[in-house]
A and B are shown apart, each in its own frame.
Chain A
Amino acid sequence: MTLYIFYFLSFLAILSAFMVVFSKNPVHSVLYLIVTFFAIAGHYILLNAQFLAAVHIIVYAGAIMVLFLYVIMMLNLNKETEPHKSTYLKLAATVSGGIFMVVLIGSLKGVEKIENLNAANQSAGLIKNLGHVLYNDYMLPFEMASILFLTAMVGAVLLGKNELK
């Protein structure tokens, strides 16, 4: 049963990822990307990472994608005005993407055998465990992340201002 769910989610993610690339309208791309994100959130749940799945939905589908839509709306990009690359370049891009995929899979092949696997521990993705690790081992990076957000906010506001004086 779970295997079928996995296949379905994988198929959905890959298909909508393709649609992100090939949609002519940027708004459609955004919507397909949201679908992909939901599929990936499903994968997280399959991996016993429920909290991660929730955060993923909130951050990506909820915040980031809304930002994208907002920008597209502001720039009025929802028309198919984009000039396309030549067929030759498109072919080259597809071929190199394919080659990249083959090489990537080839180079990751055998990784699962080296790893010290212990899937029996299914409590790793629980909020309790995560919080424990996060606030014990990763305290400093966690605080640093907040500074990063502050910096990003200042940077975005500064860049977004109409005229820099």
Chain B
Amino acid sequence: MEQHTLAQTLYGIPLNAYIIVSAVLFSIGVMGVLYRRNLIIIFMCIELMLNAVNLLLAAFGAYRGDSNGQVFVFFIMAVAAAEVAVGLAILMMIYRNTKSSDIDTLTRLKW
């Protein structure tokens, strides 16, 4: 029983706690994307969402005693780094062309 309980918690922290923290962080990222108009802030909120996912993956991996979850986090980090590099370059292009970092100026994505 004791062993069993120990196996399900890590230093007395239940897995559910990590799920809730990750979900909250992710929702804050979503809300930020909806809330702000500044492209850079929106981009940061996307990073926030990625980190929430990373945290959850690492938590699941740790609670299962499985290295694969952490390897996945590595790959997500790698992809995120590449994404940030390209994304920021695009952002600079947009700014150069529209002289603005306002997302509402980008209204051509239609028809």
Do A and B come together as binding partners? yes
A interface, CB within 8 angstroms of B: 2-3, 6, 10, 13-14, 17-18, 20-21, 26, 29-30, 33, 36-37, 40, 43-44, 46-49, 51-52, 55-56, 59-60, 63-64, 67-68, 71-72, 74-75, 77, 82-85, 90, 92-94, 96-98, 100-101, 104-105, 108, 111-112, 115-122, 124-125, 129-130, 132-134, 137-138, 141, 145, 148-149, 151-153, 155-160
How many residue pairs, one in A and one in B, have C-beta atoms under 8 Å apart?
A: 260
Footprint of A on B, CB under 8 Å?
3, 6-21, 23-32, 34-38, 40-41, 43-45, 47-48, 51, 54-55, 58-68, 70-71, 73-75, 77-86, 88-93, 95, 101-102, 104
Known contacts A10-B17, A97-B30, A26 near B38 by CB under 8 Å:
yes
- Pick the residue among B6, B19, B35, B101 that contacts A85 (CB under 8 A): B35
B6 contacts A60, C-beta separation under 8 Å: no
Report how far A29 CA is from B12 CA in the complex, Å: 33
Task: Check A134 against B74 for contact (C-beta < 8 Å).
Answer: yes
Chain B hits for A68, CB < 8 A: 40, 43-44, 84, 88
Partner of A20, one of B45, B63, B67, B101: B45
B47 A21 Cβ-Cβ under 8 A:
no
- A109 to B77, alpha carbons, bound, how many Å? 26
Q: Which residues in B have their C-beta under 8 angstroms from that of A120?
A: 3, 6-7, 65
B98 shortest CB reach to chain A, Å = 11
In the complex, what's the smallest C-beta–C-beta distance from A158 to chain B, in angstroms? Answer: 8
A88 to B72: give the CA distance in the assembly, Å.
39
Check A60 against B51 for contact (C-beta < 8 Å): yes
Shortest beta-carbon distance from B91 to chain A in Å: 7
Q: Tell me the minimal C-beta distance from B94 to chain A in angstroms.
A: 10
Give Cα distance in the complex from A92 to B70, angstroms. 36
Tell whether, in the assembled complex, residue B78 and residue A149 are in contact, meaning their CB atoms are under 8 Å apart. yes
In the assembled complex, how far is the CB of residue A134 from the closest CB belonging to chain B, in whole angstroms?
Answer: 6
Least distance between A110 CB and chain B CB atoms (Å): 9
**Nearest 4 pairs between A and B by C-beta?**
A121-B65, A97-B31, A101-B27, A93-B34
Q: Are B70 and A82 in contact (CB under 8 A)?
A: no
Q: What are 9 A-B contacts defined by CB distance under 8 Å?
A: A2-B12, A3-B11, A20-B41, A46-B11, A52-B73, A75-B40, A93-B34, A120-B65, A152-B82
**Interchain CB contact (< 8 A) of A90 among B35, B64, B73, B92:** B35
Known: A43-B21, A145-B75; 5 extra A-B contacts, CB below 8 A, are A18-B28, A36-B25, A82-B102, A124-B65, A145-B78
